[in-house]
Chain A
């Protein structure tokens, strides 16, 4: 058969990946990364659009075209510095951004299925720089003002980097024993290798961010104490508290929140159990409720823990699934079974309190809801039962009420999201917030953009305060 001719740009350079059979036995990166030749070839396909749609659609307007031009002439170092001007963690965003909904999705070549693989170009350049030990160089002109950054996820990281560049004394508080937020405890190593996150965190150390681990602001130190001690505060506490279905049987052994499941596997390394002490138990079949990135991650972790049958139980259909395209595709290749148009009604246990079955409703799609997606509607009388040893609820998460209860002076909306103005300032002067703490379940790149914007606002405010005195 003759291949259809593609004029402009040609075919996307295929990314080599671990085969599905092999990769479900390990937690190593699925994509193997472009080689030097491949990355140059991919970059050369760019048709250098007028108006540069990819950049316009990038939430942080990274200079994508300039980067691609440098890659095409093998000037990786230059490409790296161009990226770094806008993005402190390209090795991470290159791997986890929903590119199909942003830069790659608006690339004219994407219409024919061969958009420039911008994410993988980004990751290549960042990895290349890491391997060569090349880092962004800048002089820090030390200032005496102190800024506290609460939370070490992408919002906190990007805010801290910029604040240090401005010369402020930055203390970062993190509740867990490792920094990185979701990048560390949520997103599995086969998507985002742990050493990449650790590298970015060690960079914070190098540029002089004082990272205080094991420190939950509000619980271990009063929020008001921080307000007294620091000139400004950035809140990047994320939305890490799990939502539960609130249906009968939820407390049976074998029912996890996705957060618990992923924290055990990723942060605590339960997949290396015995070498690491934290356990996880799974039955022979596992059902993951939801179809976002979190659900895909949990399902793919379960396969790698050796679970035989892994189901995604979703109330809409694949078309409406909010996960990244690549995640859904990888999950299906690996053998995850997508069950559409169903929703759990109750969990049924055995006499020892272990989950045994799930009763589900069949669903149908109704009119569009507020999110623009068709609303799933229960079909009455359609209940049926599936045998299930383990359930992981990936329903989304909320800002942590522990922090909000201990900082009641912050204005929040009914979902517990912190309210901010156009400069990301909360109603308390000098206190800023961004990322999931403000947006709810959003993305790494939006959190990153917020962190940078907040740093700029803080800088401006401190400068003005100084000018006034």
Chain B
């Protein structure tokens, strides 16, 4: 069941790319879907968005930020190393059709998650404005790829080291205004940190622009068996893994989603400390 890593790249200090053999996922993947992987027998199951596929080579590309125990360990693996389990594609594919003028807002590692959507939407004949942001220039990923795929790519960094000095949501606002007289933005898709997606939803709400957010709730099985990934959408409990991961951003209770993501914080910290300790011992 091993999924061999055929390519590994450091995209920034915290962001990594791996391309793994996963013939089954490569064959069936549609933009917006994700996989759940487990590195080893003792590993946790973690969801990662499929950022790209190579059908001929039967591989999928995963881009991730090393934020905790599992993603840190994953970042130390190299070409030739195996990932033990990979189930997918999971979740519903994104709705891809000709909407007209679409804005795709990606923040941090969310840029990687939105990349396949930018590609697919452009291919479907949309005029796609990609708005991507990070804390600073060195943490910005996939700029080149995005520029190749999108009609237009706008950048924002928190410290102003590249592009707009400030948040992607400010750029989104300007973009919406700028398109007002040319038919208007007809759809916004946003993937990234919860506060960013929440802010993006608030930007588009007064304009009544249909806005889609992809929720990265905590998941275990990814197939509707545990309820860990539940979120309230318009007051109704939904499971992000099988009802999502994309939802109408104007209906998501983002505060609740954010709160639930902190449920295991104490243990996650212990796991990182433990991992750093055993890594040091190994050296």
Contact = CB atoms under 8 A, between A and B. Distances in A.
Interface of A: 175-177, 213-216, 219-221, 240-242, 244, 246, 250-251, 253-254, 256-257, 259-260, 263-264, 268-269, 273-281, 352-353, 400-402
A241 B237 CA distance: 14
A278 B270 contact: no
B271 A241 contact: no
A273 B270 CA distance: 10
A259 B227 contact: yes
Given A263-B220, A281-B267, A220 B227 contact: no
A214 B86 contact: yes
* Residue from B24, B42, B260 with most neighbouring chain A CB atoms (10 Å): B42
The 9 closest A-B pairs by CB, nearest first: A279-B267, A353-B259, A214-B87, A260-B226, A277-B44, A257-B227, A253-B263, A177-B85, A279-B264
B45 interface: yes
Contacts, number: 120
Contact of B228 (A250, A260, A353): A260
Residue from B223, B228, B259, B271 having most chain A Cβ neighbours under 10 A: B223
A278 B41 CA distance: 11
Nearest to B40: A277
A234 to B, nearest CB: 19
B226 A242 contact: yes
Contacts of A353: 256, 259-260, 262
Given A215-B87, A219-B90, A253-B262, A279 B226 contact: no
Contacts of B224: 241, 400-402
B87 A257 contact: no
A275 B268 CA distance: 13
Interface of B: 1, 24-25, 28, 38, 42-45, 69-70, 84-90, 220-221, 223-228, 230-232, 237, 242, 256, 259-260, 262-264, 266-268, 270-271, 274
A276 B274 CA distance: 11
A3 to B, nearest CB: 50
Contacts of B24: 215, 220-221
Given A253-B263, A278-B44, A279-B264, A260 B227 contact: yes
A274 B231 CA distance: 28
Given A214-B86, A263-B221, A274-B270, A250 B237 contact: yes
A259 B223 CA distance: 12
Nearest to A215: B87
A275 B42 contact: yes
Most buried by B among A213, A241, A259, A274: A274
B227 A244 contact: yes
Contact of A220 (B45, B87, B267): B87
Contact of B1 (A213, A263, A276, A401): A213
Contacts of B28: 220-221
A223 to B, nearest CB: 14
B30 to A, nearest CB: 12
